[in-house]
Amino acid sequence: MKVGAYGLKGKEASLISIFLLCTTIIIWSWEKTPDLNVSITSHTPVQLPPENLLSSSVVSVLAPEPPIHVDVDDSPSANKKTAIEPEELHLNIASQTVPAQSYSGREEGNTEILSSASDEEAITEAKRNEDEEKTSTQEENRPDFAIGSPQRISLISGKDGAGWNNATANKVCNFARGKWVPDNRHPLYSGFGCKQWLSEMWACRLTQRTDFAYEKFRWQPKDCQMEEFERSKFFRRMQHKTLALVGDSLGRQQFQSLMCMLTGGEETHDVKDVGKEYGLALAKGALRPNGWAYRFLSTNTTILYYWSASLCDVEPIDANNPGTDYAMHLDRPPIFLRQYLDKLDVLVLNTGHHWNRVKFKANRWVMHVGGVPNTNKKIASMGSAKNLTIHSIVRWVNSQLPKYPGLKVFFRTISPRHFFGGEWNTGGSCDNTTPMSVGKEILGEESTDQVAAHAVKGTGIKLLDITAISHLRDEGHISRFSISAKPGVQDCLHWCLPGIPDTWNEILFAQI
């Protein structure tokens, strides 16, 4: 009996000991982690997709705090933590998600964008899908994404305050949305007086045209004020700097417009021809040079234009043969940009109206990709070739931005044509003289030039979106009033100057 009693007491003692031990562990655990249930909830965001995690880190970086200067030498090593700080998280994620060509600056000497002509993903939906999957991350990493934060710009460029839109840091303005409004302060120069810079064929005041109501309007963006153009402000901002327009004849119109705006349409002796500094000399047998460059001596401000209708490299296949065809390298930037990009502070690119079979035949252009004649039928179509070239030049220029952090680049969208009843050589006309007969307001958020908009998305290149606003102004074309016009032939592509291209430059000025 004694043995049984002692055995029973031993079992009870063991059970009591186990109960006490479990109770002690529970109490000890509760004391150590009283907010265990809260901690589990707070860690839920870890399961969010990477783009959301990046967004949360950007929010932390962009909080209204004193600017954070990311500098290894300035970071006290004694304060290092095991956990990644928000700014470190942002930088690490960015370095993994941004394409190397966008911000790493690698392959500096490489001017070819695609590896071979068979790389169809660069021009097909596969490429678009890839770009769309990276859209949110690339948007976060573009220099002008968070316009209101100089510290955000500093994190991207590596320089404090170096980047986009310092002049408009308080508000993001979509300059492509808005309406045309009457303004008696326009035009900004005289079509009679700006003979020093304005081609006669574009100076409608020198033609038989008698209606000039199209000159008396300005563009007013919706929900924001566009800074008014002032010559003195322009020269202050562009002192000791160079602005280059590279593109087709519409780019040349924008160049002449800007020169007239900067001189007020009056003859000046403060300007020096510096074309030779940029290789813009008249070649033997040529009707005109490949461009022009002029320097305003009082502020050392240079304005230049370079002719590159396709925005790709074009070279003779046989330099010794006057009748040779020309290799049109769709995946190479123009040689001018490769040689002189380091001298530029503001660059405006455009292309569009030479991508047709008539122009290709007249210029004897032969498509090349990867340094050899193109054999890919998908690329051979005009639309695909144009898209490939625009994406290629944008990607190349974007890859150069880390080397030139002060460079501001714009891609101007295509200027609309207004031929009605036919084309330029089949009786097409644009006889309307009533301002904004098709409407006066643009409310859409997206650009109507989707090719250009898609190309610059996620890059450090800004879209100078002028397509929709110019589409409303069909009365502003040269029409039948060209000095050299032939019966039945009208110019519904180029614009009268003063005119619509002045507005392009006003929008450009507001973003410099």
User: Per-residue pLDDT for the chain (512 aa), expressed as one digit of tens each?
Assistant: 444 444 545 666 667 777 777 666 666 555 544 443 333 333 333 333 333 322 333 222 222 333 333 333 333 333 333 332 222 222 232 333 323 333 233 333 333 333 333 344 444 433 443 343 343 333 333 333 222 222 222 222 333 333 333 344 446 899 999 999 999 999 999 999 999 999 999 999 998 899 999 999 999 999 899 999 999 999 999 999 999 999 999 999 999 999 999 999 999 999 999 999 999 988 777 788 999 999 999 999 999 999 999 999 999 999 999 899 999 999 999 999 999 999 999 999 999 999 999 999 999 999 999 999 999 999 999 999 999 999 999 999 999 999 999 999 999 999 999 998 888 778 888 989 988 888 889 999 999 999 999 999 999 999 999 999 999 999 999 999 877 766 768 899 999 999 999 999 999 999 99
3-state helix/strand/coil string of 125-139: HHHHHHHHHCHHHHH
Please, which residues have CB within 8 angstroms of residue 198's CB and are 6 or more apart in sequence? 191, 256, 260, 497
Which residues pair with residue 291 across a beta bridge? 306
Between the alpha carbon of residue 176 and those of residues 166, 180, 439, 507, the distances in Å are 20, 11, 15, 9
Please, which residues have CB within 8 angstroms of residue 162's CB and are 6 or more apart in sequence? 153, 154, 405, 406
Cα distance from N-terminal residue to C-terminal residue, the chain: 102
Asked if residue 351 lies in contact with residue 386, where contact means CB atoms within 8 angstroms, the answer is yes
Q: Is 167 left (phi over 0), alpha (psi -120 to 50) or beta?
A: alpha
Question: In Å, how far from its chain's centre is CA 313?
Answer: 20
Q: What pLDDT is stored for residue 281 in this prediction?
A: 85
Would you list the DSSP string of 227-282? Answer: PPP-HHHHHHHTTT-EEEEEESHHHHHHHHHHHHHHHTT---SSEEE-GGGGT-PP
The arrangement of strands across the sheet holding 271-273 comes to 271-273, 291-296, 301-307, 242-247, 346-349, 408-412, 462-464
Please, which residues have CB within 8 angstroms of residue 128's CB and are 6 or more apart in sequence? 454
- Could you give phi then psi for residue 348, rounded to 5 degrees? -120, 120
Q: What pLDDT is stored for residue 491 in this prediction?
A: 92
- Cα–Cα dist 448/214, whole Å: 23
Angle, helix 500-511 to helix 249-263, in steps of 10 degrees: 70
Q: What pLDDT is stored for residue 29 in this prediction?
A: 54
Would you list the DSSP string of 161-218? Answer: T-SS-GGGTT----TTSEEEEE-TT--SS-TTT-TTT--GGG-GGGSS----GGGSEE
Other CB atoms within 10 A of residue 8 CB? 10
- Cα–Cα dist 344/359, whole Å: 29
Q: What pLDDT is stored for residue 172 in this prediction?
A: 82
Counting every residue, how long is the chain? 512
Q: What pLDDT is stored for residue 299 in this prediction?
A: 98
- Which tokens sit at 326? 């020309």
DSSP-derived 3-state class of residue 96: helix
CA atoms within 13 A on the CB side of 258: 28
